[in-house]
Amino acid sequence: MNLVLFDLDNTLLAGDSDYEWGQFLIAKGVVDGPHYEARNKAFYEDYKAGRLDIYAFLAFALHPLATHSRAQLDAWHAEYMDTRIRPMITQAARELVKRHLGEADLVAIITATNSFVTGPIAKEFGVPHLIATDPEEVDGRFTGEVAGTPCFREGKVIRLEHFLKDHGTRLDGLGSSWFYSDSHNDLPLLELVQHPVAVDPDPALKARALEKGWPVISLRDS
């Protein structure tokens, strides 16, 4: 069995879906603009610097999901897909995903961003499996809490192990395994797959990729 994994933000997307969802909510007037934007930017900088407190971030990011109905959230998400996400999808990213979908047994997007935000994005790419941070849901409404292990850093490895177990295999039992990512936050998983690929990498990941001899590619159309 062959496995291909894609990170989402700044890898398949030329931008960050979590950050852009926050900016979208600000633009819609759903959240307090100046305060929310300052915290959103601060968390994003923490993520890029490798010092993100994932639970503090999730408490912030999942709160708006708990304060609105699913119908309203879905309507906003459809607009967000049109205005924020589709413009961040390059032809090169679509072609790479399409090629692997035709070759691999298992293809998944694995992302720290929550599954409410990323589920429709995975469908846009035609990727059948999504491994993401799951927001807790009770009686059809989000609670603002996280369910299970956040899919971040070492948590991606844990979540992948559960995913593979559900498919009757293990990472060390695969014929081949690939992981495409832009971020040094994904090094715990990149170090485990047979074929790690750095995609438009941040400086820390680029340095490690060059040290290890990993491929470095770009999915930006320019």
β-strand pairing of 141-147 with 129-138: antiparallel
Give the Cβ contact number of residue 129 at 10 Å.
15
Pull the structure tokens for residue 71.
Answer: 């119908």
Per the annotation, the verdict on 74 as an active-site residue is no
Say whether 221 sits in a helix, a strand or coil: coil
Amino acid at 184: H
Catalytic-labelled residue, pool 9, 16, 18, 182 = 9
Cα(187)–Cα(196) distance, integer angstroms: 9
Catalytic-labelled residue, pool 7, 16, 18, 186 = 7
Do 189 and 156 touch, CB atoms closer than 8 A? yes
**Between the CA of residue 23 and those of 38, 41, 92, what are the distances in Å?**
11, 9, 26
The torsion region of residue 149 among left (phi > 0), alpha (psi -120 to 50) and beta comes to beta
Do 22 and 195 touch, CB atoms closer than 8 A? no
Say whether 198 sits in a helix, a strand or coil: strand
Q: At which residue do the structure tokens 């995609």 appear?
A: 199
Per the annotation, the verdict on 53 as an active-site residue is no
Cα(31)–Cα(23) distance, integer angstroms: 10
Q: Catalytic residue numbers? A: 7, 9
